[in-house]
Structures are given as structure tokens and as C-alpha cells.
């Protein structure tokens, strides 16, 4: 049994997998998520600070939901987060399209498509028998 302290309330609970948060806090956080989602739906012009204050939730938590691609924003929403690769402002996820494409290429390289195994031709040793001509 893996007993841990909940990161949010400090209560001891039986930890299984994922973030170190007890079931009760997990549920509370899920309710908070629904509240944030609803607020964003109803206030499309709201930025992260406003959502954070109105819903009483950490801006960092909102960022995390955006990274997890759980929150959807209207095209005119001011809410954007920085790409973890280049800092371009994006609307969801962790990376912009450009970085995603680059990572796909990097992945391909890592798979070893540019691996060239050049084998040197084996040297054939020419042995001379050592026949000597004798001049008489």
C-alpha cells in the first residue's frame, strides 16, 4: 500500500496513480473545472486573471487544463498560453504547430532513418609464396 499526503489538503490517503491528490480533492477540483469551463463559455472575452478571480482557482491550474487540452476557447478569446518550445502564443496544448512538426521530424531522425552503416570492404591479403628466381 502506498500512503501519501494529499498535495492540496494534506490528508493521508491511499495513493494509486496520477497527481498526488486525495479522491475528495480530486472531485472538488473536477467540480472547479466544470465551473471554469462554464464561466469561459459564458464570458468568452474573459482572460485567465479574470477567470482565476471569478472562479477562485489558481492561474497555474487553468494553465494546466489548457495544456491538457481540456479547455476550449472561442477564436476571439484573449486566453492564450506560450508554446513550450518557442514561446509563440497558442490556444491549447503544449506546443505550436511548427514545434509539433519539428518534433515529428526529430522523432523520425531518432528512429534512425539517416543511419548509414558503411561496411568497409574486407582487405584481401595477398600472400606471396616467396618464390625466388635464381639467376644462375
54 to 113, contacts with Zn ion by CB under 5 A? 83, 85-86, 88, 96, 99
Output the smallest distance, CB 107 to Zn ion, in A: 16
Complex with Zn ion: residue 32 or 40, whichever CB lies closer: 32
| Rounded Cα distance, 93 and 81, in Å | 9
Complex with Zn ion: residue 6 or 66, whichever CB lies closer: 6
| Rounded Cα distance, 9 and 29, in Å | 12
First to last CA, the chain: 97
Output the smallest distance, CB 5 to Zn ion, in A: 9
Complex with Zn ion: residue 45 or 106, whichever CB lies closer: 106
Whether residue 77 contacts residue 41, with contact meaning beta carbons closer than 8 Å, is answered with: no
| Rounded Cα distance, 64 and 5, in Å | 21
Beta strands in 22-128 (DSSP E): 81-82, 89-90
Output the smallest distance, CB 95 to Zn ion, in A: 5
Output the smallest distance, CB 22 to Zn ion, in A: 3
# chain residues binding Zn ion, by CB under 5 A: 12
Output the smallest distance, CB 39 to Zn ion, in A: 23
Whether residue 92 contacts residue 83, with contact meaning beta carbons closer than 8 Å, is answered with: no
Q: Which residues pair with 81 in a beta bridge?
A: 90
1 to 60, contacts with Zn ion by CB under 5 A? 6, 8-9, 11, 22, 25
**Which residues here bind Zn ion, judged by CB under 5 A?**
6, 8-9, 11, 22, 25, 83, 85-86, 88, 96, 99
Amino acid at each position: 500500500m502506498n500512503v501519501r499526503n494529499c498535495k492540496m489538503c494534506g490528508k493521508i490517503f491511499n495513493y494509486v496513480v496520477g497527481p498526488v491528490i486525495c479522491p475528495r480533492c480530486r472531485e472538488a477540483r473536477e467540480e472547479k473545472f466544470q465551473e471554469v469551463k462554464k464561466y469561459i463559455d459564458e464570458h468568452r472575452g474573459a482572460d485567465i486573471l479574470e477567470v482565476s478571480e471569478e472562479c477562485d482557482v489558481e492561474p497555474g491550474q487553468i494553465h494546466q487544463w489548457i495544456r491538457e487540452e481540456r479547455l476550449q476557447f472561442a477564436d476571439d478569446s484573449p486566453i492564450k498560453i506560450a508554446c513550450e518550445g518557442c514561446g509563440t502564443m497558442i490556444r491549447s496544448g503544449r506546443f505550436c504547430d511548427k514545434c509539433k512538426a519539428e518534433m515529428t521530424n526529430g522523432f523520425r531522425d531518432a528512429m534512425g532513418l539517416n543511419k548509414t552503416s558503411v561496411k568497409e570492404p574486407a582487405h584481401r591479403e595477398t600472400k606471396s609464396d616467396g618464390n625466388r628466381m635464381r639467376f644462375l
